[in-house]
Amino acid sequence: MSQTTAPAVDPTTGQRLDKRSSYDFVVVGGGPNGLGIAAYLSKWGFSVCLVEARPELGGGADNAEPIPGCSIDPHAVYFYGAAGPPLEQLDLASYGFRMSFIPNYGGCITHDHRAFFGGNTFHDSSSRDPEVYVEMLGVDRDTAKMYLEFMDALRPRMRDFFRSIYWTPPYDESWGIPKAQTPVARVLRDCLPMYDDAMLDMSFNEMMDALALPDPVRAGLLLGSWGNGPHPYWKGMALPGFACTQLQFFSGCTPVGGMHALAHALARCALANGAKIFVNSPVSEIIVHDGVAKGVRVADESLLEEKTIWANMGVINNTHVKSLPKLVSSDHLTKTFRQRIADLSLKGGSLYVANFIVNELPEYSDAPERYEGSNYPSGMALHCTTDALMELMRDVHTYRMHPTDLDHYIAWYIVHAPHDPTRNRSNLPGGVVTVNLQVPAPEDHKDGPLAVNDAKYEILDNLKQVLRHYAPNMTEDKYIKSVINTPYDSEQRNMGFVGGNWMGMRQSEDEWWARKPLPELARYRTPVEGLYLCHQTSYPGGLCLSAVPYNLMHILKEDYSEIEATTPEWWYPSPWHLTDAEGARGRSSLSTGGDG
């Protein structure tokens, strides 16, 4: 227990009683990744100061309560990080973090009412009967058997599969390690009889072809990939696409109380270990002396009297990689580098998010009876076929999509209420249920960013129509309140969501693994010594997995002998991690990196 300290500043007069603030590390941004690294470093024993621009911590891990007793998720909705080391290493449960596991992640209904309802059996190893899958997936017996075998082979290595892809720092491109030797390829080759290196170059859609999965299960998985990772038609992204859909089934949950509970747990871990955290304090500059990051300057509007916060060891940037040239003076970044950052694509992750507060659960007319109670589907892809999804993506990526075109309302309808009663603290008769909806949208619009905002109410009406089509009980009188954040609003709310892009920037092969966000930045280092990246624009991208801070710790351990020397017993690295020295020895060193 640390001692109470005397006031440094009188909160009523602002009179300063201390001298200068300096910490071992300064973290810029209090999103889940910023909070995660603050928690790691402070638990490791270093002094940390985190500064966040907004009035609330949490970045995308946020909740709001637009009507009393009913909280909504403006951004992230599911926690997928159960399989990763951070939950355990940071012991988030001891700070109150709770998960409600979801037996039925949901399904998909096509516009002509072909329905897939995943449910318990979908991934339950105890149901061995291929006939069940014949019925559920709408496939023949051979395909069902193939699918079962595939999952049987993968299931025992599922955690390794996840960790090899998310919780491992990317290799340096210059080491020349071929794709077939990346951790994920090694894990799959090891366990999947049907594994083929060709999978590495496929799109997720092509992988579905290989597994012969038809709609609607296929369309559901494709939308799952779109919503949690790469677009299903992007080449070379089959495995990341597949992985993020499996996170839902095997590593996902509803965080009890909402996603902001994750931010609370991370922040409390950091605070309990001595970190300082300030909100309402946008950083205007990362101070660099002689090529080394020395601290940050907070903007004038910050509450802090001290406008400069010094970092004795390093500065960690939890803001979008595109803000790097704004925060670091041009003296320290070359023109080419700045241009390369400016050229990074934001395409493909923007969403309209609507939250409908209603007074009863949608009852899907296509649902078999057994999907009730806690087996109620948590997420449903509605109005969705593979073809329609491909068409939508084409239009989104070419900015053609019109926000009020009803054909484009392929949406992911998410309901937490059956799995998390804390979401219903209202005393309204019958209680309340929030239906969260996410629709792919262009990050910008041909008629300007506000075109979407102007169409807000029309969009809400269309979404209600779609929902009612599949859940006829959702008549107008069931709606208590509806709110929406467009890509434009999401960016206004959170400077990390540039273009309203939920994952910061795209997850395509040219910006993935050793190239994310740029090859020279892939190992979280920057051209400025002592300045590191810890945002979803670094590998492995969007999602609140705390993977970025976990991976970054490997690199910091290499760069700082103080960190290496104080490695605590709770830390364990990724078995596939290669240090710079190991990597530089190239392929031969792979034998020293464990295979899980």
Partner 1 sequence: MSNDSYTRHIPPFSDVLSELPPQFPDETETDVVVIGAGPNGLLAAAYLTAAGLDVTVVERRFEIGGGLATEEILFPGHYANTHASYHYMVDYLPPLTDFDMAGQGLRYHKPYGQIGGVFGEDYVYLCKSFEDSRDALARFGIDQADAYGRMATRFHQIVDEILAPATYLPPDPPVDLTQALQRTAIGQDMLEVSEMSALELISSYGMRDSIQATLLYSACQWGLSPIESGVGFMVPLMVDRGTQKAFIQGGSHRLASSFARVILRQGGLILDNAAVVEITTDGDSATGVVLDDGRKIRTRKAVLSTLDPQSTFLRLLPAEAVPAEVRDAADGWVWDKWSLLSVFFVTKGKPQWKPNPNNGMIGLPTPFDTILGFDDTEDVTSFFDSIEKGEIPKFAGHFTVETEFDPTLSQVEGEDVCFFQMPAPYDWDWDGRGDEVVREVTALLDSHYEGFAESVIDCVVETPKTIEQRIPCMRRGSIKHGDYNPLQMGFNRPSVECSSSRTPVNGLYLGGASMFPGGMVIGGPGYIAAQVICEDIEVKFPFDRPDRLKRYLDTYFPDGKD
Binding site for ligand FAD (CB under 6 A): 28-34, 51-54, 59-61, 75-78, 80, 282-283, 318-319, 323, 351, 353, 438, 490, 494-497, 502-503, 535-536, 542-544
- Residue count, binding to partner 1 (CB under 8 A): 93
- Where helices occur in 343-449 by DSSP H, the ranges are 386-397
The one of partner 1, ligand FAD, none whose footprint includes residue 318, by CB under 5 to 8 A per kind, is: ligand FAD
The one of partner 1, ligand FAD, none whose footprint includes residue 41, by CB under 5 to 8 A per kind, is: none
Whether 552 and 534 have beta carbons less than 8 Å apart is answered as yes
Based on the shown chain and the rule CB under 8 A, indicate whether residue 64 belongs to the binding site for partner 1: yes
Which of 65, 197, 405, 407 forms a contact with partner 1 (CB under 8 A)?
Answer: 65
Residue with smaller CB distance to partner 1, 456 or 535: 456
Whether 356 and 464 have beta carbons less than 8 Å apart is answered as yes
Residue recorded with tokens 């599949």? 470
Residue with smaller CB distance to partner 1, 305 or 387: 305
From residue 100 to residue 129, what is the string marking binding to partner 1 with x (rule CB under 8 A)? xxxx----------------x-xxxx----
Residue recorded with tokens 């990051």? 293
Task: Choose the stretch contacting partner 1; rule: CB under 8 A; options: 9-17, 181-189, 546-554, 561-569.
Answer: 9-17
Whether 177 and 576 have beta carbons less than 8 Å apart is answered as no
Q: Tokens at residue 504, please? A: 């910061």
- In the complex, the smallest distance separating the C-beta of residue 554 from partner 1, rounded to whole angstroms, is 21
- In the complex, the smallest distance separating the C-beta of residue 542 from ligand FAD, rounded to whole angstroms, is 3
Among the listed residues 60, 500, 513, the one whose alpha carbon sits nearest the alpha carbon of residue 243: 513
- In the complex, the smallest distance separating the C-beta of residue 469 from partner 1, rounded to whole angstroms, is 26
Based on the shown chain and the rule CB under 8 A, indicate whether residue 277 belongs to the binding site for partner 1: yes
SS3 168: coil
Residue with smaller CB distance to partner 1, 422 or 579: 422
Based on the shown chain and the rule CB under 8 A, indicate whether residue 535 belongs to the binding site for partner 1: no
Based on the shown chain and the rule CB under 8 A, indicate whether residue 6 belongs to the binding site for partner 1: yes
- In the complex, the smallest distance separating the C-beta of residue 252 from ligand FAD, rounded to whole angstroms, is 8
Instruction: Give ∠ CA 437-442-445 in degrees, rounded to 5.
Output: 125
- Residue 235: other Cβ atoms inside 10 A: 15
Task: Choose the stretch contacting partner 1; rule: CB under 8 A; options: 192-200, 483-491, 499-507, 561-569.
Answer: 483-491
The one of ligand FAD, partner 1, none whose footprint includes residue 402, by CB under 5 to 8 A per kind, is: none
Q: Tokens at residue 242, please? A: 């597949």
Q: What is the 3-state secondary structure (H, E, C) of 538-577?
A: CCCCCCCCCHHHHHHHHHHHHHCHHHHHCCCCCCCCCCCC
Based on the shown chain and the rule CB under 8 A, indicate whether residue 45 belongs to the binding site for partner 1: no
The one of ligand FAD, partner 1, none whose footprint includes residue 31, by CB under 5 to 8 A per kind, is: ligand FAD
Q: Which residues touch 12 (CB under 8 Å, ≥6 apart)? A: none
Among the listed residues 548, 556, 563, 562, the one whose alpha carbon sits nearest the alpha carbon of residue 580: 556
Based on the shown chain and the rule CB under 8 A, indicate whether residue 55 belongs to the binding site for partner 1: yes
Based on the shown chain and the rule CB under 8 A, indicate whether residue 95 belongs to the binding site for partner 1: yes
What separation in angstroms does the CA of 381 have from each of 93, 111, 421, 539?
31, 11, 23, 27
In whole angstroms, what is the distance from residue 525 CA to residue 217 CA? 40
Based on the shown chain and the rule CB under 8 A, indicate whether residue 2 belongs to the binding site for partner 1: yes
In whole angstroms, what is the distance from residue 381 CA to residue 437 CA? 10
